[in-house]
Amino acid sequence: MSVVVGVALETEALRQRWIAELVPLLEDCEVVDAETRPAEDIEVAVVGNPPGRSLERFPSLRFAQSTWAGVEHLAEDLPLIPVARMAAPEFSLLMTEMTLTAVLMLHRHIPAYRRQQQAAEWRPHPVRPASERRVGVLGFGELGRPAALRLASSGFQVKAWARSRRDDEVEVLTGESGWERLLGESDVVVNLLPLTPATRGILDREAFELMPEGAALVNLARGGHVVEPDLLTALDTGRLSDAVLDVFIEEPLPESHPFWTHARVTVLPHIAAPSNPSQLAPHVAANIRRFLDGDEPRFLVRP
């Protein structure tokens, strides 16, 4: 009897897209919509980032593969089965592209020109070379390192902050002193950290006060990293000049949220590195195949 792989993603349209991509890659498995099949049939689940305890609804589940790189919800209260997150070059490329886009936008004053356009104000800003712009990247893993190296290759002064010390093409700072130095010496701070109990709320009033007056924030990681009232205060007082935000504590961002109308906030609808089934299905199928062949799956969240 073939193994039943249940796709348990958020919408029927998304489930059908993933099923169409996975069926030819897992020909010896039965790839089904987990919402239309008895839960006890599902042995392998393809999920997004639901709470880990939600997997308990599949009593026969032996392995779960996420299509997300960030799995902070999935990592909570996991059942005792292997669960893997998504890691793929396609993710890194998209995140690097978005990081460079956001930094260049800030570097060339595009948000300021947008504000001036609304006021019909014609006022050029000085054009500085990238070599005079200091960029700090928070996180130096699968997403942060490629982004930092791309920024450096584009001419920016780049430092990164990570949990562990390492030698690389850009300077990597660690610890509390490294955190304070990176924030204090960055005109633009890009957040690409994973969301963990240690990093939740890490970008708060104290962090913003360490940054140079008029610096900008780019958050492409998770909304939970930012204390939103503190960010609004920093923008309102001029401590920070701009924020480019792709992620939020609540998504979709509520219509009443002040970010929507704040002149110094650029709101993006969580599009920095979307999970494209046609690009990522081969990686999902390969990890499922590793599990079914008795090998340890790659990028385990918890064994």
- Which of the residues are catalytic? 222, 270
* Region class of 284: left (phi > 0), else alpha (psi between -120 and 50), else beta: alpha
Contact 158, 151 (CB under 8 A): yes
User: How many Cβ atoms from other residues are within 10 Å of residue 140's Cβ?
Assistant: 26
Question: CA 216, CA 129: separation in Å to the nearest integer?
Answer: 17
User: How many Cβ atoms from other residues are within 10 Å of residue 178's Cβ?
Assistant: 17
Question: CA 286, CA 144: separation in Å to the nearest integer?
Answer: 24
3-state helix, strand, coil in the chain (%, to 5): 35, 20, 45
Contacts of 238 (CB under 8 A, 6+ apart): 213, 214
Tokens of 117: 């356009």
